Amino acid sequence: MTAKYNAASDVSELKLRLDQAQLSYRDVSLKSRREIVILKRLIARMSVACKGLDSELDKRLDILRTDLEQNKDISKIVPHLAQVERLLLRQTSTHSTMERLSELIRQSSESLKRIPALPVQLKRDIHDLLSQAPDSLHHSHQQITQLFGLYDRALKLLTVPVSIERESRSKDDDLQQKLCNELQQIITELDAEGESGEQLLAIRHQLLAGVAPISLVELCLEVLRLALDSFIHERRHSQKFLDVISGDLAALEQTTRQTADQGQALHKHRSELTAELGQLSDRFHQALSQYTNLESWRGAAHALDTSLKQLVERQRSLENREQALLEQLHYHQNRAEHLYQQTQNQHRQIEDLQRRIFLDPLTRVYNRAAFHDRLEHEYRRWIRYQHPLCLAVINLDHFGDLNDTYGFQAGDKVLKIIARTLHQHLRDTDFIARVGNDEFMLILPDITEEERHRRLSGIREAILQLPFRFRDKNVTVSASLGATLFDDTDTPAKVIERGQKALASAKHAGRNHLIWIA
C-alpha cells in the first residue's frame, strides 16, 4: 500500500510539473510570437525608412521580411540579421554625407540668388533656407525639396514673360489673319466696278498672299477710302438724279397748272359760246314766227347771219386753242412718261445694287449677309412648324496651298466651278452662301435623314471628281463637310457653332470627310 501511495504521489507531482512546464512553454511561445510580430513590424518599417540608401541593404531587408512572414526558424534568420546589421553599420557614417549635402544646398542657393531680377520674396525664402543648418539627413532632404521648389519658382518667373510674349504673338497672328479674312469679305461685298473695283481686287490678292501688320493697316485705310469714294460717287449720282427729277417735276407741275387754267378758261368761253348760240337760235325761231315772207325778213336775217359768222370765228379760235392745249397735254404726257421711265431705271439700278449686296460677285451665290438673313427666316419657320432643318458647312481642303502653287486666278476658278456644282446638287428650296474665302454654308429645310445624307455625300464626291488642270497638271480638290440639325432650344448662333465643330472634326479626321454632330 505504501508503494502504491508513493507511486500515486509521484504521478501527481509529475503531472503538476508537466502542467507547469506546459504553461511556461505557452508563455514562452506567446512571447516569441509577439517578438516575431514586433520584429516583422520593425523590419518592415526599416525597409521603408532605408529604401534607396543601398541596393544590397534593400535586398537583404526584403529577404529578411519574407523569411519572417514565412515563419522560418530563427536560427536560419540570424545570418540575415547579421548581414543587415553589417550593412546598417556601413550606412551610419552620415556626418560626411550631411556635410556634402549642406555644401551643395549652400552653393545651389548662392547660384540661385545671383540670378538677376528675382523678386524680393523669393530672395527672402532663399535666405531663410540657408539660415537653417541641417541637423539630420531627413532635414537635409527637406531642404533639398525646398530648394527644388525655389528653383521651379525662379524658372517660371523667368520663362513666363517669354511665354506671354509668344502667346501674345500667337494671338496677334490669329487676330491679323482674322482681320485679313474680314477685310477680304468686305471687299467681296463692296463689289465695286471700274477703277475702284480693280484696286479692290488687287488689295484682295495682296491679302491672300499675306501682308505685314503695318501693311494691313494701310490696306484697311485704302479700302475705307475706296469705299468712301464709291459711296460719294453713288450719292452724287443719286443727288443728280433727284435734282433732275425734282426740276422736271416742278416744271411739269407749273405747266400742268397753266394747262389746267387754260382748260378752265376754254371751258368758260365754250360755255359762253354755247349760250350765245342758244340766244341766236331763239332769235331765229322768233323771226320765223314773226315774218311771213322772206323779203320782209331779209334785214333781220342779215343781222342773224353776221352774228352766226362771228360765232363760227370764235368757235374756230376755240378749236385752235383746244388743239394747242391738246398738244401741250401730249407734251406733258411725254415728259411724265420720260420721268416714269427714269424712275423705273433708277429703281432697277437700286434693285441691282441690292441684289449685288446679297450676292457674292465672284461665285454669284449669296454672301454672308444674305445667309444670316435667310437662316433667321428658316429658324422662325422651324420654331413654328418643327420641320427638319439642316445646316452644313463646306470648306475646301488645302485651298491656300492651291493659291500659292497655281496663283489666285486658279483659286478663283476653282471657287466658281465648285459654287456652280453645289448649286446643281441643291433643290430650289435649299440655300447656298459663300461666307468665307473658301467656305460655303448650306441650309436644307424639310429634308429626310436619308435624303440629306445622300445629298451631302453626293456633294463631297462631286467636288472630289471635278477635273481641274493648271499649268499642264491635273489637280484634285477635296472638301470637308460638317453638318448638324436644329434641335430643342437651339438658336442660329448655337447651330452655326456646332456646324463649325463638326467641320473641325472632319478636318481633324484627315479631310475629305463628312461629319455629323447631333
pLDDT at 502: 94
Examine the domain organization and report whether 254 and 313 are in the same domain: yes
Residue at 363 is within a domain: no
At which of 92, 109, 137 does a domain end? 92
Residue at 297 is within a domain: yes
Examine the domain organization and report whether 319 and 458 are in the same domain: no
**Burial class of residue 73, CB neighbours in 10 A (0-12, 13-18, 19+):** exposed
Query: What's the number of CA atoms in the CB half-sphere (13 Å) around residue 349?
Result: 10
At which of 49, 72, 92 does a domain end? 92
At which of 39, 58, 92 does a domain end? 92
Among 414, 419, 427, CA closest to 364: 419
Examine the domain organization and report whether 507 and 417 are in the same domain: yes
pLDDT at 300: 67
Percent over 70 (pLDDT), the chain: 61
The Cα–Cα gap between 330 and 347 comes to: 25
Scanning the structure block, which residue is given the C-alpha cell 500515486? 8
Residue at 361 is within a domain: no
Calculate the alpha carbon distances from 292 to 54, 180, 190, 286 in Å. Answer: 171, 110, 95, 11
pLDDT at 433 over 90: yes
Residues 6+ apart with CB under 8 A from 507: 395, 397, 480
Examine the domain organization and report whether 47 and 11 are in the same domain: yes
Examine the domain organization and report whether 400 and 498 are in the same domain: yes
pLDDT at 442 over 80: yes
The Cα–Cα gap between 503 and 460 comes to: 13
- pLDDT band at residue 163 using 50, 70 and 90 as cut-offs: very low
pLDDT at 340: 77
Examine the domain organization and report whether 402 and 494 are in the same domain: yes
3-state secondary structure 310-345: HHHHHHHHHHHHHHHHHHHHHHHHHHHHHHHHHHHH
Residue numbers of the domain that contains 342: 245-356
Examine the domain organization and report whether 345 and 392 are in the same domain: no
The size of the chain, in residues, is: 518
At 13, is the secondary structure helix, strand, or coil? helix
Query: Mind listing the pLDDT tens digit for each residue in 445-487?
Result: 998 888 999 999 999 999 999 989 998 889 999 999 999 999 8
Examine the domain organization and report whether 295 and 315 are in the same domain: yes
3-state secondary structure 125-183: HHHHHHCCCCCCHHHHHHHHHHHHHHHHHHHHHHHHHHHHHHHHHHHHHHHHHHHHHHH
Among 192, 183, 186, CA closest to 213: 183
Residue at 131 is within a domain: yes
- pLDDT band at residue 164 using 50, 70 and 90 as cut-offs: very low
- pLDDT band at residue 162 using 50, 70 and 90 as cut-offs: very low
More reliable by pLDDT, 78 or 216: 216
Among 466, 461, 433, CA closest to 362: 433
**0.75 exceeded by the pTM?**
no
Examine the domain organization and report whether 404 and 373 are in the same domain: yes
> Could you say which DSSP state residue 394 is in?
E
The domain total for the chain is 5
Residue at 390 is within a domain: yes
Examine the domain organization and report whether 373 and 511 are in the same domain: yes
Looking at beta carbons, which pairs linking 261-267 to residues 24 or more positions away fall under 8 Å? Answer: 262/321, 262/325, 262/328, 263/325, 266/318, 266/321, 266/322, 266/325
Examine the domain organization and report whether 350 and 380 are in the same domain: no
Query: Mind listing the pLDDT tens digit for each residue in 299-344?
Result: 666 776 777 777 777 777 777 877 877 787 777 777 777 777 877 7
Residue at 362 is within a domain: no
Examine the domain organization and report whether 101 and 199 are in the same domain: no
Max Cα–Cα distance, the chain, nearest Å: 222
Decide the pairing of beta strands 473-475 and 468-470: antiparallel
